[in-house]
Amino acid sequence: MSRSGQHAIAADVVFDGAVVHRDAAVVIDGATIAALVPRADLPAGLPVQRLPDGCWLAPGFIDVQVNGGGDVLFNDDPSPAGIRAIAAAHRRFGTTGLLPTLITDTPEKMKAALAAVDELMDDEPGVPGIHLEGPFLSPEKPGVHAVKHIRAPTPEDVAPLTASRKGVVLVTLAPECVPPGFIRQLTRAGVRVSLGHSMATYEQTRAAMQEGLTGFTHLFNAMRPLAARDPGPIAAALESSDAWFGMIADGVHVDPAMLRLALRGAAKPMLVTDAMPPVGGKRAGFSLYGEEIRVNDGKCLRHDGTLAGSMLDMATAVRNCVRMMDVPLETALRFASTHPAAFLRLDHRLGRLVRGCRADMVAIDAKDIATVRTWIAGKAAQLVH
């Protein structure tokens, strides 16, 4: 680092979230990006780190749905230490921002999860907020969520969700299971609301979008399917340019043909992992609600064969997006970072490599689409695989 505090990272390719720049460099000042310049224009005397040949420098991945990692399940350990362990496990795969995601659980667990993220906000830049997946879901589409904890909201639920917080709060809910006006109460307070685990009709989905719902959690999975005279939430999402949808590109949750179809719609895709503790961990299973979940053939399965989250990491999601869905690398990178940052309304400081944004970045070996290094708020971490 120079005396001015500035230094630069140079790469064969820098993708800024919108445009691909050949032979360029990002100038970093502390935690912030000061400039993106052609490498030839770097000022003399500025310390420059040159990435290996063939490397791309891109905005760090932002994963809005992470249940666990590094053998830790957020539901089991809703504490700052638990979240740090999860974030560290995912950072190896290029994730520089994630929302720890609480699966439907008791009110006490929700309280603990919200408090843990609040406590962490000041000194953990890699965790921009929290995702509460449930408990206001449809008992008809529980997936692996415990039906006994699924419930309708009460007036007492509004205050803790809408309290002023430093981080983002994202709530996945089934619009048909909450009273009219509930979604608006949340979105007016800045909560991001996403449809998931829902049997909402097309009309119910449109009404929820009128109240400010903008997200669709793991599109296709655990929701009313697309049908000729029953378009449901999938059609409502895909025809709207104001909608963002999460896709689990592991080749297991959704057939790649369905995802390719979704990419032809107007909505903005986001790569999510829906990751479970074995991602970046050492064990081949974990326990959820006291039940054993086994990893088998790249799937996390309950004893009855229900999918229980995924074994996916973000680097693999990007690679699958390119290879299974025929998407150019820069487009996949946008799905992994720029789109989720915009969905969370954090795109003024995350998801792009432009002046004024935070220096959250990932270096990628473009041939293998493997992550080689990350930076969060300008601080580097060498990745050990």
Catalytic residues: 274
**DSSP H or E run through 300:** strand 299-301
How many of the other CB atoms lie within 10 Å of CB of 299? 17
Question: In the block, which residue shows the tokens 């080689």?
Answer: 372
Q: Largest Cα–Cα distance of the chain, in whole Å?
A: 66
The answer to whether the CB of 16 falls within 8 A of the CB of 354 is yes
DSSP codes joined into one string, 93-106: TTEEEEEEEEES--
Q: Which long-range contacts (CB under 8 A, 24 or more apart) does 32-39 make?
A: 32/356, 32/357, 32/358, 32/359, 32/378, 33/353, 33/354, 33/355, 33/356, 33/357, 33/358, 33/359, 34/6, 34/355, 35/355, 36/353, 36/354, 36/355, 39/10
In degrees and rounded to multiples of 5, residue 60 shows phi and psi of -60, 150
CA distance 196 to 247: 12
The answer to whether the CB of 39 falls within 8 A of the CB of 24 is yes
The answer to whether the CB of 351 falls within 8 A of the CB of 337 is yes
- 136, β-bridge pairs: none
Q: Exposure of 139 by Cβ count < 10 A (0-12 exposed, 13-18 middle, 19+ buried)?
A: middle
Report strand pairing: 48-50 vs 32-38.
unpaired
Cis check for the bond before 180: say yes or no (omega within 30 of 0): no
The answer to whether the CB of 209 falls within 8 A of the CB of 215 is no
The answer to whether the CB of 318 falls within 8 A of the CB of 327 is no
